[in-house]
Amino acid sequence: MIIAVIGNSSCSPEETELAETVGELLAQRGATIVCGGLGGVMEAACRGAKSKGGLTVGILPGQDSSMANPCVDIPVVTGIGEARNVAVMKSAQAVIAIGGSYGTLSEIAYALKSGIPVVGLNTWRLSRNGRQDNSIIRVRTAAEAVKKAVSLAKRRQNREIAAPRQAGARNDKKDKVLH
């Protein structure tokens, strides 16, 4: 199971603590963490995961791995700048957003567009046409965030495993791939 943890590259002490605990709990549940690979929330989540023996993937915006935080096991160097936010989202079965600024908002938007569940801790609130958009699943603690994200990721994994059994499903999926 791969869970994305997203948030600012500079963050408050409270967010750092939340992210570190999220990382610890995800590792204990056996989840691989994917993130943007930089500092702040991303680094805290990776540090937490490493302290519990977890595996961490950092999908980096730049041209080499020099900006990867020291707790990234696998630096993926995309060279595509902020467009890498799409890859951080699509690589995960569920997302935990902690705080966050506009970069995090773009990631949340991409996840929701792709139907990838987003669990939020003190993060963006969205509304349009005077109605609140409740797609982000709001929780209050790191433990709740991890429990919810893991459960949603499992449900998503099961759907993905089940899908190819349906007639035609395999072909539909192939059409979506570019190469």
Interface contacts to its own copies, rule CB under 8 A = 2, 9, 32, 34, 36, 38, 55, 57, 59-67, 74-83, 85-87, 90-91, 99-103, 105-106, 108-110, 112-114, 122-129, 160, 163-164, 170, 173-179
- Residue by residue, DSSP assigns 30-55 as TPEEEE--SSTHHHHHHHHHHHTT--
HSE-up of residue 2 (Cα within 13 Å, Cβ side): 13
> In terms of CB distance, is 8 or 21 closer to its own copies?
8
Quick one: tokens of 63?
């041209």
- Closest Cα partner for 56 from 2, 110, 119? 2
Shorter beta-carbon distance to its own copies: residue 143 or 172: 172
Closest distance of CB 108 from its own copies, Å = 8
Nearer to its own copies, 53 or 175 (CB): 175
99 vs 11: CA distance, rounded Å: 8
Name the minimum Å distance from CB 114 to its own copies.
Answer: 8
- CB nearer to its own copies: pick between 13 and 127: 127
Whole-number minimum distance, CB 13 to its own copies, in Å?
15
Q: How far is the CB of 105 from its own copies (least distance, A)?
A: 4
- The DSSP symbol for 122 reads S
Nearest approach, Cβ of residue 177 and its own copies (Å): 3
DSSP string of 54-107? --EEEEESSSSGGGS-TT-SEEEE--SGGGHHHHHHHT-SEEEEES--HHHHHH
Closer to its own copies by Cβ: residue 60 or 149: 60
Q: In whole angstroms, what is the distance from residue 19 CA to residue 11 CA?
A: 10
Smallest gap from Cβ 10 to its own copies, in A, equals 11
Identity of the residue, 35 or 147, whose beta carbon is nearer to its own copies in the bound complex: 35
Q: Which of 29, 80, 40, 41 is nearest to 59 (CA)?
A: 80
